[in-house]
Amino acid sequence: MRTARRILAGGAALAAAGWALRDVPAELGARPLDSGPERAARVRRSSQFKDGSFYNSMPEPTHVMNTPPVSLLGELARNKEQRRPAGPVPMRVPPAGPAPADGLRAVWYGHASTLVEIEGRRVLFDPVWSERVSPSQLVGPKRHHPLPVAISELPPVDAVAISHDHYDHLDLATVRALVRTQKAPFLVPLGIGAHLERWGVPAYRIIELDWEEEAEVAGLRFVATAARHFSGRSLRRNDTLWGSWVVAGAAKRVFYAGDSGYFEGYRGIGAAHGPFDLTLMPIGAYSPAWPDIHMNPEEAVNAHLDLGGKLLLPVHWATFTLALHPWAEPVDRLWREAKAREVDIVVPRPGEAVDAAAAPAPDGWWETLG
């Protein structure tokens, strides 16, 4: 009987693992060059594409760590408690009802996932509702706080904008849920439409743009702009383009940086498409091991000023551990730099709505958790 129980337990464990891993092939997405002649031709025409891959156009080199050094692996095993909050992260319930008809409001759900309500329209940036950011929900970085709202309880959105195809910005389960529960189109950098099509997004709901291409959705102008980053959902990299987004209404303008290292091109984006009433700037997951692909907090302030931003809302921190720095360090550094340079910032709790015209001053809510 003991042997039989072990066999049954082992079989159940294998079955559970098989069930959990069933979506891994789909999670890897699809290669744009193999997804149809029309998309392949657009990819090959892109100024950012050469020799079978997308490249950053800025002259500075972009270093991406392929194999973690032994010293980094050792660091990962130490001081784990510093890289997560010391207690429950305070949450807020997002407001119900229609978006402000003439104003600008933002709801940060955690990490990069943010809803921006601009002149009565709603834009959802990089929505990720999964528990882990990984090709498998068995392993990978896990949430430090719950989501403020279930994906089925999101208000109707007018557009979903994706910055690139990394797992913490493009999530298969979330995309499939939004296909079922929303009617909005997905605006994505060139090539990411191949992933979406494989995951069941109808072609008429996919808008793919190269840098400096634009589209109008629900009366808003979307411009795909540059970023200094890379892409890939497997060992193969840079099949798809990465980028940032300009969203312009009749009077209000928003810039979402996605993931990016600092580069001089922010001044050009600000001159061409700014100034911006609100910038959503990544401040976390930086490291000396990859200085070119993620900004640190001080560089986020630099980019915000280059863009002509009025109010900075930090994203890409607090929700997942993706680097070795302490959990609260990004926002502590941001607050110090903003005060030193007289930059207006707002640091909402997950789920908290922020009116860009009347944003509250930071109150340090994170300090007891760091």
Whether 291 and 263 have beta carbons less than 8 Å apart is answered as no
pLDDT band at 80 (very low <50, low <70, confident <90, very high): confident
Query: What is the reported pLDDT for 97?
Result: 87
Cβ contact 216:243 at 8 Å: no
Integer Cα distance of 260 and 307 in angstroms: 14
Q: Is residue 14 over pLDDT 50?
A: no
CA distance 176 to 5: 38
Which pLDDT score is estimated for 96? 86
Share of the chain above pLDDT 90, in %: 85
Q: Over the stretch 210-230, which tens digit does the pLDDT of each residue have?
A: 999 999 999 999 999 999 999
> For position 265, what pLDDT does the model report?
96
Extract the runs of DSSP E, i.e. beta strands, from 111-262.
113-118, 121-125, 159-161, 186-189, 206-209, 214-217, 220-225, 244-248, 253-256
**Cis preceding-peptide flag for 37 (omega within 30 of 0):** no
The mean of the pLDDT values for the chain is 92
Greater model confidence, 131 or 10 = 131
Least confident of 18-32, 236-250, 329-343: 18-32
Confidence of residue 64 (pLDDT cuts 50, 70, 90): low
